[in-house]
Amino acid sequence: MADVHSEPFVINLGPQHPSTHGVFRMRLTLDGERVLDMDMTVGYLHRSTEKLAEERTYIQNIPFTDRMDYLSAMTNNLAYCLAAEKLLGIEAPERAQYLRVIMSELQRLANHAMAIGAFANDCGAWQTPLMYMFREREKILDLFEMTCGARLTTNYVRIGGVSFDVPPEFVPAMTALLAEMPRRIEEYASLLTENEILLARARDVGVLSAADAIDCAVSGPMLRASGVAWDLRKAEPYCVYDRMDFDIPIGVNGDCYDRMVVRLEEMRQSVRILEQALAQMPQGPVKINVPLAVRPPVGEAYARVESPKGELGFYLVSDGGPTPYRFKIRSPSYINLTPLKQMMVGHNVADAVIILGSIDIVLGEVDR
Amino acid sequence: MSRYLGGKEVAERIARLLPEAVVDVAPQWVVVDPTKLLAVGRLLKDDPELDCRYLISLTAVDRIDHFDLVYHLASLAKNHVIVVKARLLDREKPEAPSLTAIWRAADLQECEVYDLMGIRFSGHPSLRRVFLWEGFAGYPLRKDYLNMPGGVKPGLPLFPGVRPDEEGAVDG
Amino acid sequence: MTLLAAWYDIRDLSNAVTHLLEWVGDWGPSWLVYVLSAVIGGAAIFGFAAAGALINSWIERRAIGRFQARLGPNRVGPFGLLQPFADVLKLMLKEPLFPRLLERWLFVLAPIVVFIPAVMVFGVFPFGPGMTFVDLNVGVVYVLAISSLGVIAVFMAGWSSANKFSLISAMRVVAMLVSYEVPMVLALLGVVVFAGTMSLSGIVVWQQQYHVWIIVLQPLAAAIYLIAGTTELNRTPTDIAEAESELVAGYHTEYSGMRFALFYAVELVNALAVSAVAASLFLGGWWLFGLDRWLPGWLIFIGKVYAVYGLLIWLRGTLPRLRIDQLLAFAWKFLLPLAMANVIVTAFEVVIWVEYDLSAGVVLPLFAIVNVALAAVLIGGWAKLMSYRFERLPKRALLVHDIAVPATSTPMSTEQV
């Protein structure tokens, strides 16, 4: 029988695509169904945030940080404000710290709801898990709107505190949400984690070992799913995380299924933190007055937070002027893309889409 | 809190094995010779005390007369962070060795620095402009990007709507 | 079976047609009767298929919406009932696009080739007692053969679009459809062995005669047919053709306007056909334990068809998608052995029944119990065998309270340069 001549061909998962989570381009070299090589192109959403920020004052830069990872604006604001506060040498009042923690954890819940839902969507579950999780996300976004007037680009955390105190209807609404969240998360867990088809799709797909994860400097749920017990809320507790009692979930295998399970478990832990924060929050001022064109002393600072995507860091260099001299964003989504090719090669095309979905990137953060 | 190791501590450890690598010491960071970056990187990664196996961030700062490459390294096992800098004095064609052989995390971050600052990394497996395209005029994050040769001014004015002779209206 | 046998008896619509044809035959030539009967039957079948497509579109979107905790379309008309009409209008008004590199003739023919078998298969369904357009005595084979023609159309569509994605999707779909034909045929073979006839209305009459729904006697065959049927329809959990994220819309990516509408309609019409086959063969068709003496048989039949269709929608709203290699492995390694086991056991049972001339009242409940037990054992056991590899890893995350080196309580230095 003559040998059938076959050659690899290249398909383009172009920037416009139903499931590349934004404008992200991948060129896959395929041999039949198997991926041989992957070449990615980012930069379709590059808005030169770092350059623009060098021409605006520190307070004017806060809305820029919202729009980077537009699905978790609160933690972006928080990271930047922590870096600016480090430069200035000030600290926010205690009530503001608690509010920051509350908002960060609410944001984590909303983000993971979207991440898990989108992942299940990539696996083919026709938006049913996504729609279920969006119920809770809507309530969380309503809480955000109640507090600061915006659902996604919140611009809430400011240098020296937070911008507004929560209105009186916030606490009852949040208590109601926290009361039903555990039951909802159990519902999602039972629908997703025991599902054989999801197991068949996502188990042993896109495996990243712990050593590789550390070498590629991935962070966040992706690092924890590979088995590395590392969470900035425990390692470098910012705000009042050192007063909260919570666990960090780690995975065993480092595949897409583990990442989903880690995110689900993080949602449960977030509910725990929120209950404690709400109980412990003191009264008091929520903001230190910082001048509009504040000039920090010459120096530099690097501050990092555990955003829902990973370790979000801001490296600010000040030259004594009203605008930052260097505004560097250490974006977790961009760096989490480092092992993408290694994870994809050898799998099917269908798995390629799932692997990209499990990293949970937001192109606003990748491209800045 | 993670410990941010002081410059002196790190400089001592580096100087023990690579004496001429350290150029300058500051309370918060160490400045090393750019040509010795590979050796210093390997030392930092393999040293049992420093154990910096996690490259948090790789970036560059344009200091008008030179470039500063800034590396934030961390050890997850020991929970500390060190900051290493390297000064690149050549303004026209800045070049530094690539650290992708030591930390794979340097791959994408060096591409970003090359793209936006124009610093070439020798030994990088696939150095390319990630956010902008090949053939883009200039390197945007440089401080002189707004005054390109030929009178081209691709950037924004300082604050839109502000006359150039005004104070920039920063205290608005 | 007491039918009034009058032309106005809506319980048997064929009465009206028969009276009409007799009246025409009285004064007209015989070929006119023949042509008229074909036209009326064909129009009825086509009308049912087309109306089915429209109604199914509405039902599907509303039901999927309710599964996803949201309303379906509810703007166009009361409860969104005019939505299908709005869709058809929109699709008719779209520009028919022809990419430059495609094979023109195949591209144009593919929707037609896919639509004609979809409608033709409705000819043998027993809508009521005596209400079958063409009562073939090889009805089951006809249904299977005609629905296989759709495979050619899918490949024509995928090949003629000058699009790598369409080609990949078409090849996957052909592999999938061909693989799932085999368990489907074997499952229906079990039913045919029991009923002794391949004519669909004959099988319904057999169920009426023995007062039993064949699903009770052949649960394994019903399950296999349902799964294989879902796959033949390109529905979730097996909709790799059109909804796979990287294939945008699969083999019908390049189609626009009315051609795309034909593909979409055919999916819905095929769903109706598969449900109708399941309803006739497994759920008793127009017979409902004697209730069909008062209710029109076709109403009962349509009710059962939509009950099965509702099950298909339920599957679609709940399950994620399988990968193509997992899908093919499922067909060949899971469904095929089960279907063969089913046929063997069924054959033995029928031989015992006929050879020893046992009474049906004794033997059929016994067969039912044996078959249900066998189905449970086979499905459970084989499934455990094939999925043991998922048991070695935990399905929940491990919880760690402290990291290796806890944070020190001393703040870091904030010395400036």
Pure H helices in A25-169: 49-53, 62-66, 73-88, 94-122, 128-148
Asked whether C150 and C174 are in contact (CB, 8 A), the reply is no
Report the C-alpha gap between B60 and C205 in whole angstroms.
83
Contacts of A323 in chain B (CB under 8 A): 170
pLDDT reading at A19 higher than 80: no
Report the C-alpha gap between C285 and C200 in whole angstroms.
9
Ordered DSSP codes for A99-113:
HHHHHHHHHHHHHHH
Per residue in A34-56, pLDDT (tens digit) is 888 888 888 888 888 988 888 88
Ordered DSSP codes for C377-396:
HHHHHHHHHHTGGGSSS-SS
Per residue in B24-55, pLDDT (tens digit) is 888 888 888 888 888 888 888 888 888 888 99
Asked whether B67 and B143 are in contact (CB, 8 A), the reply is no
pLDDT at C6: 65
Q: Look at phi and psi of residue B81 and say left if phi exceeds 0, alpha if psi is from -120 to 50, else beta.
A: beta
Asked whether A351 and A124 are in contact (CB, 8 A), the reply is no
Does the beta-carbon distance from B77 to C411 stay under 8 Å? no
Contacts of A22 in chain C (CB under 8 A): none
Per residue in A84-96, pLDDT (tens digit) is 999 998 989 999 9
- Separation in Å, CA of C401 to nearest CA in chain B: 16
Q: Which two tokens stand for residue C176?
A: 């999938």
Does the beta-carbon distance from B1 to C404 stay under 8 Å? no
Which residue is closest to C395 within chain A, CA to CA? A193
List residues of B whose CB lies inside 8 A of any C CB: 1-4, 6, 26-28, 76-79
Which residues, in sequence order, are CB contacts of C244 under 8 Å at separation 6+?
Answer: A124, A350, A353, C169, C250, C321
Does the beta-carbon distance from C396 to A229 stay under 8 Å? no
Q: Tell me which residue of B133, B119, B124 sits closest to B69, measured CA to CA.
A: B119
Domain encompassing residue B140: 3-146
Contacts of C380 in chain A (CB under 8 A): none
**Number of domains, chain A:** 1
Does the beta-carbon distance from A201 to C164 stay under 8 Å? no
Give the nearest partner residue to C246 out of A126, A201, A349, using CB atoms: A349
Element (H, E) at A327: strand A326-330
- Separation in Å, CA of A155 to nearest CA in chain C: 27
A-facing residues of C in 230-289 (CB < 8 A) are 236-237, 239-240, 243-246, 248
Element (H, E) at A161: strand A161-162
Block means of pLDDT (10 residues each) for chain C, 417 residues, are 56 76 81 86 89 91 89 85 89 82 82 90 86 85 89 85 78 88 92 88 87 87 91 79 60 79 88 91 84 80 92 88 85 90 91 81 83 88 78 80 65 38
Subunits in contact with chain C (3 or more CB pairs closer than 8 Å):
A, B
Domain membership of residue A31 (yes or no) is: no
**Number of domains, chain B:** 1
Per residue in A52-76, pLDDT (tens digit) is 888 888 888 899 888 888 898 999 9
Domain membership of residue B156 (yes or no) is: no
Contacts 24+ apart (CB under 8 A), C190-197: C190/C218, C190/C220, C190/C221, C190/C339, C190/C342, C190/C343, C190/C346, C191/C140, C191/C218, C191/C221, C191/C281, C191/C282, C192/C140, C193/C343, C193/C346, C193/C347, C193/C350, C194/C218, C194/C346, C194/C350, C197/C137
pLDDT at A218: 92
With H, G, I as helix, E, B as strand and everything else as coil, classify residue C181. helix
Domain membership of residue A34 (yes or no) is: no
Which residue is closest to B110 within chain A, CA to CA? A335
Q: Is B64 on the interface with A (CB under 8 A)?
A: no
Question: How many angstroms separate the Cα of A338 from the Cα of each of A96, A307, A350, C44, C276?
Answer: 36, 18, 20, 61, 52
Question: How many angstroms separate the Cα of C168 from the Cα of each of A183, B92, C161?
Answer: 42, 49, 11
DSSP character for C217? H
pLDDT at A144: 92
pLDDT reading at B170 higher than 70: no
Q: Tell me which residue of A34, A41, A47 sits closest to A17, measured CA to CA.
A: A41
Residue with tokens 């924890």: A224
pLDDT at A309: 92
Does the beta-carbon distance from C403 to A11 stay under 8 Å? no
Which residue is closest to A211 within chain B, CA to CA? B53
DSSP character for A45? T
* Bigger pLDDT: A6 vs C268: C268
pLDDT reading at A15 higher than 90: no
Domain encompassing residue A267: 46-367
With H, G, I as helix, E, B as strand and everything else as coil, classify residue C211. coil
DSSP character for B125? T
Domain membership of residue A1 (yes or no) is: no
Domain membership of residue B151 (yes or no) is: no
Domain membership of residue B161 (yes or no) is: no
Per residue in A261-306, pLDDT (tens digit) is 999 999 999 999 999 999 988 999 988 888 887 888 999 999 999 9
Q: Where are the beta strands (DSSP E) in chain B?
A: 3-4, 22-25, 30-32, 54-62, 67-75, 80-88, 95-97, 120-122
Domain membership of residue A18 (yes or no) is: no
Instruction: Work out the number of other CB atoms within 10 angstroms of the CB of residue C32.
Output: 13
Asked whether C241 and C173 are in contact (CB, 8 A), the reply is yes
Domain membership of residue A36 (yes or no) is: no
Instruction: Work out the number of other CB atoms within 10 angstroms of the CB of residue B48.
Output: 7
pLDDT at C161: 80
Asked whether B115 and B129 are in contact (CB, 8 A), the reply is yes
Q: Is A304 exposed, middle or buried (0-12, 13-18, 19+ CB in 10 A)?
A: buried
Task: Determine the residue type at C258.
Answer: M
The two most distant CA atoms of chain B are separated, in Å, by 58
pLDDT reading at B109 higher than 60: yes
Strand partners, A311: A306
ipTM (interface pTM): 0.87
On average, the pLDDT of chain A sits at 88
Domain membership of residue A345 (yes or no) is: yes
Q: Is A169 exposed, middle or buried (0-12, 13-18, 19+ CB in 10 A)?
A: exposed
Does the beta-carbon distance from A217 to B105 stay under 8 Å? yes
In our burial notation (b when 16+ CB lie closer than 10 A, e otherwise), range C175-205 reads: bbbebbbbbbbbbbbbbbbbbebbbbbbbbb
Give the nearest partner residue to B53 out of A214, A236, A311, using CB atoms: A214
Which residue is closest to C406 within chain A, CA to CA? A235
pLDDT at B169: 40
pLDDT at B160: 44
Report the C-alpha gap between A229 and A46 in whole angstroms.
33
CATH number reported for the structural domain that contains residue B38 in this entry: 3.30.460.80
Give the nearest partner residue to A234 out of C317, C395, C407, using CB atoms: C407
Domain membership of residue A151 (yes or no) is: yes
CATH number reported for the structural domain that contains residue A240 in this entry: 1.10.645.10
- Separation in Å, CA of A126 to nearest CA in chain B: 33
Domain membership of residue A131 (yes or no) is: yes
Which residues, in sequence order, are CB contacts of C354 under 8 Å at separation 6+?
Answer: none
- Sign, Cα dihedral of A207, A213, A218, A220: positive
Does the beta-carbon distance from A304 to B108 stay under 8 Å? no
Q: Lowest-confidence range among A134-148, A205-219, A223-237, B11-25? A: B11-25
Residue with tokens 């469904």: C335
Q: Where are the beta strands (DSSP E) in C248-367?
A: none
Report the C-alpha gap between C220 and C198 in whole angstroms.
19
CA A276 centroid distance within chain: 22
Contacts of A265 in chain C (CB under 8 A): 396-397, 399
- Separation in Å, CA of C401 to nearest CA in chain A: 4
pLDDT at C399: 84
Q: Is C393 on the interface with B (CB under 8 A)?
A: no
Does the beta-carbon distance from A214 to B107 stay under 8 Å? no
Q: Is C101 on the interface with A (CB under 8 A)?
A: no
Give the nearest partner residue to A50 out of B70, B141, B155, using CB atoms: B141
Instruction: Work out the number of other CB atoms within 10 angstroms of the CB of residue B18.
Output: 16
Omega before C237 within 30 of 0, i.e. cis: yes
CA atoms within 13 A on the CB side of A228: 26
pLDDT at A271: 94
Element (H, E) at B101: none
